[in-house]
Structure 1
Amino acid sequence: MKKIVIIIGCALLLILGVFTINSRYEKYEENKAVAVLKNKIVKIKTVKAENDFKDLMPLKNILKDKKIVAMGEATHGTKEFFQMKHRMLKFLVEKMDYNVFGIEACMSECMAVNDYVLYGKGEAEQVVKKMGFWTWDTKEVVDMVKWMREYNENHTKKVKFYGFDMQSSCTAVEKVQAYLKKVDKEYENKVDSILLEFKDPKTLHGNNKKLHGNEVKKIMCMFEKNKNEYISKSSKEEYELYKQNLKIIDEAYDFFKGNQSNSQMQTKRDKYMAENIKWILNFEGQDTKIMVWAHNWHVSKVADNINNIGENVKRMGSNLYDMYKDKLYVIGFQFSEGTVTAVDKSINRGEESVMLKKCTLHAAKKGSIPYILSKVDPLFFIDFKSVNTNKYVKEFISTPKTCRYVDANFNGEDESYETNILDQCYDGLIYIDKISNSELI
């Protein structure tokens, strides 16, 4: 018996010793990676959109051949993420000839924002609210939209505003109806009742009514058949724009209807968002360069597993990468701690809630990506290609580690983490140590 106790004790000591050695080696690797990163980062002096871009100038060489810069966000409710993206848009427009901005919001609803930034139609706060996403109803987004208007007033080459999402067909129906009344009133009268089915959001989101999705495809075919006639009564640009609005109706129908899993729905949405960005680039011409704004999940270049159910979602960034390869550059965001605006579902789990709150996240847990990055600098950009030759940094960015993630909902501190491989998801990353909640308008 005594011999067994000794053997067990020795085994436990051996296991403890191995664990201690591994822990110390991981700590050693972590410190080595931090030391290298300190010398490789691009330090950012501010997230605010100022005229001085000296700190961002190293990005010119990194982004010089890109057609799309896709910028993520680790939460949908962070002031500093929004401000930094405003600053990046200003930098890309003024220093790198970017001329289009796209956001994760419905394409048809965003046409009003484009009319504001190009022609001064309406008020900034109102057109932003009409995008239909509370996440963008913020002072930070309004400030960016106002800057776009101010820029366009003082420059010949304009910067345009687009949405690329497709979760609503209401405004798209109005656009298509108005166009058909202009170019083919008789046909519009014939299909008006079909189009009206897709104008009420309750019928699109509900399951109590069978919508005529195939009839929308027939209207799309009619657009193609009468292309020359419609263009002669309007213009090629108008024809293409309103045909795309018709496609948004078809995409929204396909997204919401049918017997499909959540991952299948999300895969469709990300596929359509990528296709809509491609349409924007084609519509605006071959010299167009676009900055894209969406959540980290959507800009990611890899498929991810939602809800741990074994079904992967092929993300928008992955679809864009298939289309544009090295003409795409994806920037993710990370943070350690702070407050975010979100629908707080952390208290009454399972209950439906639409209450927006300031939700608090404490310092990132040990071993996570933001915990390690917090030791590098409080505000910086890192290009992964420039650091992957160092074995310690390579291990850090190329192996699975936990990142911070919050979407429109806050499900609690423990739920604010997700495992990712940094250099597979993104080409670079902006780290902001302490964040604060976005300011709702």
Structure 2
Amino acid sequence: MLRKEISYLLVVLMVLGTAGCGKIKTLEEWYEINVSEIKSLDSDDYSDLEFLKPLLKDKRVVAIGENFQGVGDYIELKTRLVKYLHEELGFNAIGLESGLGECIMSLNNNNLSAKQMMEYSIMPTSYSEEALDLFTYIKEQKDTEDPLDLFGFDMEFTSIYFAEYLKQWIEKVDKEVAEDYYELEINFLRDYSELLNKYGYESTGYLEKYQKVIDRYSADYDDVIKFIKDNREELEAIYRQNDLLVDSALRTLGNRMNIVRMSMVGTVKRYELRNEIMADNVKWYMDANPDKKIIIWGHNDNITKNTSKMLTLENDEWSNSFVSMGEILSQKFPRQVYVMGLYMQGGKALHPITNEIIDIPPVPTGSLEEIISRRGYETTFVDLSKNRSKNKFNKWMFTNQYASDDGLTYEIEIRSNVQQLVPKDQYDGIILFDNVSPLTHMK
């Protein structure tokens, strides 16, 4: 009897498998199943995003990337996706590629305007009307029954706000320690910035100068960390509504010298050091908030699932990329993360350093962007996660493709065909914009 049941089950599986293989006969049918049109960048009518519900219903983390800063359409749609994920799918925390301490402490200050929250939480190069909409939404949701929590996962300075906030916090326990701490932060930031501006990254002939900064300041930071640990209960009592404040301060201060160490190693190692710490910050936040569903907002290169397998073109040579935060998180939480990459075919963007409007170079025929664009939508979403085996319609997902990126170099520019990747290895979904507009910069 058991053999008959097993045989019957095998026949059923074979029939279903055969039916599945023969189900899709045309490219148009494949498009209908795997490709969706996003009809608006800013509408609060989410009917065109309903295709995301079955894809994300069991995910705890959704990571949304971009291949270049300075694209207003990217920020606009990412903000709309954040609102949708929060309102429709229960995602209730957003992590930005910004300072850990700056974000959490700006969220903790009820007196800040949305504009102040933005200015304290992200780099000045990212101040924009589009980003302000995100922070306005976060602030509006703050006092509701279902707020959207904000945290940063980066190790780098975003603004001086963390130091100002921690100073006034420590003052309530010991004014002298608070003054000494603030002076320490200002002096460290000044000395490190002067070195970086003068010598840049990877200036191996000046390693001893960077090391002197570490030697000068590390013990003082250790003293501040010890003070916070010794006075933890008293500090926590001041802001009882936020259990993460003390730990976020300790993690931020503990990484100060790693900022300097990043300047003393090669490009790939520098990216890996930063991404390892970013991944650790995300894991810390997830562990501290086991019931939260999290949105990660970052760059494509920092969220992809197997970044180290990608090739990047630098100085006319192809080389392997780095182990990213996304790669670490995807290995740690393999079935809990959905990764979306953002790409564009053309248009204009704001250069993040010069604030000049620049043209996006056209993508070549046969590139990743051009392949996805063949559906003909202005904004196209394609799901890769359900495509588990290669066929004539999806083979591009499983084979090496060329794509545009701003690279690993310190000078920021978007270039075509400077990245080689197997899309299925890196993303669960990809959004392609046909023609983009620049960021609306705010001073």
Q: Same fold (TM over 0.5)?
A: yes
Q: CA deviation at 1:176?
A: 3.3
Corresponding position: 1:260 with 2:249: no
Query: What TM-score, normalized by structure 1, do the two folds share?
Result: 0.79
TM-superposed deviation, 1:267? 0.7
Q: Which residue number corresponds to residue 338 of structure 2?
A: 329
What amino acid sits opposite 1:44 in the alignment? Answer: E
Residue 163 (structure 1) aligned with residue 152 (structure 2)? yes
Match of 1:391 in 2: 391
Aligned position for 1:212: 217
Equivalent residue for 1:136? 126
CA deviation map 1:356-409 (0-9, x unaligned): 211112431011011111112322222212233342344311222111223795
Work out which of the residue numbers 173, 179, 184 in structure 2 matches 1:183.
Answer: 173
Q: Is residue 336–residue 364 contact of structure 1 (8 Å, CA) maintained in 2?
A: yes
Distance in 1 of aligned mates of 2:384 and 2:38: 20
Cα deviations by residue, 1:218-250 (Å, 9 ceiling, x for unpaired): 54355445544544x435665641332232133
CA contact (8 A) 2:105 2:165 kept: no
Paired with 1:385 and 1:45, the residues of 2 have a C-alpha distance of 18
Kept in 2, the 8 Å contact 1:105–1:163? The answer is: yes
| Pairwise CA distance, 1:95 | 0.6
Indicate whether 1:280 and 2:258 are aligned. no
Match of 1:26 in 2: none
- The 1:240/1:140 distance shift into structure 2, 3 A limit, reads closer
Equivalent residue for 2:325? 316
Deviation at 1:317, TM superposition (A): 0.5
Question: Match for residue 58 of structure 1?
Answer: 51
Q: TM-score by structure 2 length?
A: 0.78
Match of 1:77 in 2: 70
The CA deviation at 1:339 is: 1.0
Per the alignment, residue 271 of structure 1 pairs with 276
Query: Counterparts in 2 of 1:191-230, with a 5 A limit?
Result: 194-200=184-190, 202=193, 205=196, 207=209, 209-210=212-213, 211-228=216-233, 230=235
- Contact 2:406/2:415, CA 8 A, preserved across alignment: no
Quick one: which of 289, 292, 305 aligns to 2:296? 292
CA contact (8 A) 2:235 2:246 kept: no
| SS in structure 2 at match of 1:388 | coil
Q: Deviations over 1:79-123 (max 9, x none)?
A: 22111111111111111111111211222333465257xx4x333
Provide the rounded CA distance (Å) in 2 between the counterparts of 1:214 and 1:311: 37
CA distance in 1, matches of 2:177, 2:142: 38
| Native 8 Å contact 2:404 2:415 kept in 1 | no
Q: Distance in 2 between matches of 1:230 and 1:99?
A: 26
Most deviating of 296-305 and 387-396: 387-396
Q: Secondary structure at the match of 1:245?
A: helix
The letter for the 2-side match of 1:129 is E
2:139 to 139, 142, 149: 149
Where structure 1 has 5 or more consecutive residues not aligned to the other structure, the ranges are 1-31, 344-353
% of aligned pairs identical?
21
Shift of 1:411: 3.7
Structure 2 contact 163–182 (Cα < 8 Å) conserved: no
- Cα distance in 1 for partners of 2:307, 2:287 equals 25
> Residue in 2 aligned with 1:369?
368
Cα distance in 2, alignment partners of residues 122 and 227 from structure 1? 25
Q: Name the structure 2 match of 1:123.
A: 113
- Pairing 1:107–2:100 present: yes
Q: Kindly provide the amino acid, as one letter, of the partner of residue 140 in structure 1.
A: E
**What is the aligned-residue RMSD (CA, Å)?**
3.1
Code of the residue aligned with 2:354 in structure 1: it is M
Q: Return the letter of the residue paired with 1:247.
A: R
Residue identity matched to 2:273: K
Measure, in 1, the Cα distance between the counterparts of 2:225 and 2:130.
38
Aligned to 1:437: 438
Q: Which residue of 1 aligns with 2:8?
A: none
Q: Mark the runs of 5 or more structure 2 residues left unpaired by the alignment.
A: 1-24, 198-208
Report how many residues are paired.
393
2:253 paired residue number: 249
Q: What residue number does 2:9 align with?
A: none
What secondary structure does 2:345 align onto? Answer: strand
1:115-161, Cα deviation, whole Å (9 max, x unpaired): 57xx4x333334323335244211111122223333445x3221122
1:16-38 Cα shifts (integer Å, max 9, x gaps): xxxxxxxxxxxxxxxx9965642
SS in 1 for 2:340: strand
Given the alignment, which residue of 136, 157, 163 partners 1:173?
Answer: 163
Q: Which residue of 1 aligns with 2:422?
A: 421
Q: How far apart, in 1, do the equivalents of 2:406 and 2:264 lie?
A: 28
Residue 262 of structure 1 and its aligned partner are, at CA, apart by: 1.9
Do the aligned partners of 2:169 and 2:235 also contact (CA within 8 Å) in 1? Answer: no
Which residue number in structure 2 is paired with residue 15 of structure 1? Answer: none
* Distance across 1 between alignment mates of 2:193 and 2:433: 40
